[in-house]
Amino acid sequence: MGKKRKHSETAAVTEVNKEDSAAERPKRTLLGWKDKIEEKKESDSVVGFRNKEKVLVTCSRRISFRYRHLMLNVVSLLPHCKKDNKVESKDSKGATLNELVELKGCSSCLFFECRKGRDLYLWMAKCPNGPSVKFLVNAVHTMEELKLTGNHLKGSRPILTFSTNFDKDPHWKLLKEMIMQIFGSPKDHRKSKPYHDHIFVFSIIDDHVWFRNYQISCPHTGTQKIDRSDLEKMTLVEVGPRFCLNPIKIFGGSFGGPTLYENPFYVSPNQIRALEKKQKAGKYAKKIKAKTRRKMHELENPLQVDELAHMWNE
């Protein structure tokens, strides 16, 4: 199996042979793919790049069921991730997480933090000294929902699409790079499967990053060729999960460090709830005031005694 081979000089020797034979061999499913691997190996060895990204996925304690399912869905989507136990820490979260990531030998981390059982914050961090981002997660729909009917191979490499407004600002550019590295499966990963049958959509609407995952269903004849009409007939079915990320802050270090970017439009959910309560409290205060006002009014203007008031008392 050539997959685990380090890109070394031997690749250069074999490349000549493989180029000739690859063209002649018929394209059967597995064999044909193996050939292609050899061919691609040579392009790798020319550049010398290999994606060794590994993502550590953890959550905090007291995470609720919906967010836990979301985390499990994310784990199943990324073949290059490692799921770890719940992280319990009141303070010094950053240090704990950094240690954990180093221990597991991962290069990035997705940390799902659930506060008050209601708000989910997602930390995305590149680990040794990379930047980290904290998001507030909204509009969560997991893969278990029956309305999301698509399905795809577990571990196949996704196609990533970004909307062009990721190139508008430096913080979006940074986010795009981080997302591409974390959510894109490395080529030739042990657990990755061939064929590309699903696609991730990241787009920015209203300063939020929206995520969707679609299955590609394309009618084809069995050969690896499609033409215009097939492309037209292609449909996408949503697989899930769905979520919407609201960036809060970007830090220069991993889980801490100098703040590089703050979202000026961000309002924390705690503040929203506090505001609601204040408004409701206002209602009660007004009621009390109205009552006392009424009482004062009655005291000041006593009613005339009514002669007929006690007529029917016996």
Q: Which is nearer to other proteins, 207 or 298 (CB)?
A: 207
CB of 280 to other proteins, least distance (A): 9
Minimum distance, C-beta of residue 212 to other proteins, in the bound complex (Å) = 5
In the complex with other proteins, which residue's Cβ is closer, 2 or 295? 2
Q: Looking at the chain, how many residues does it have?
A: 314
Which CB, 62 or 293, lies closer to other proteins? 62
Q: Which is nearer to other proteins, 264 or 302 (CB)?
A: 264
The set of residues, in sequence order, having a beta carbon less than 8 Å from that of 202 and lying 6+ positions away, is 160, 161, 162, 163, 166, 176, 179, 209, 210, 211
* Shortest distance, position 15 Cβ to other proteins, whole Å: 15
What is the SS3 assignment for 180? helix
Q: Cβ of residue 46: shortest distance to other proteins, in angstroms?
A: 9
Distances (CA, A) of 6 to 11, 42, 230, 231: 9, 11, 38, 37
Say if CB 39 and CB 19 are below 8 A apart: yes
Give Cα separations from 182 to 47, 179, 230 (angstroms).
21, 5, 32
Spatial separation of the C-alpha atoms in residues 76 and 100, rounded to whole Å: 21
H or E stretch including 229? helix 228-232
Q: Closest approach of Cβ 52 to other proteins, in Å?
A: 11
Residue from 219, 208, 130, 221 nearest 172 by CA? 208
Q: How far is the CB of 199 from other proteins (least distance, A)?
A: 5
Phi, psi of 148 (to 5 degrees): -95, 100
Residue number, 284 or 312, with CB nearest to other proteins: 284
- Whole-number minimum distance, CB 85 to other proteins, in Å? 20
Minimum CB distance to other proteins smaller for 267 or for 296: 267
H or E stretch including 22? helix 9-24
Instruction: Pick the closest to residue 246 from 167, 168, 139, 173 (CA basis).
Output: 139
Q: Which is nearer to other proteins, 154 or 295 (CB)?
A: 154
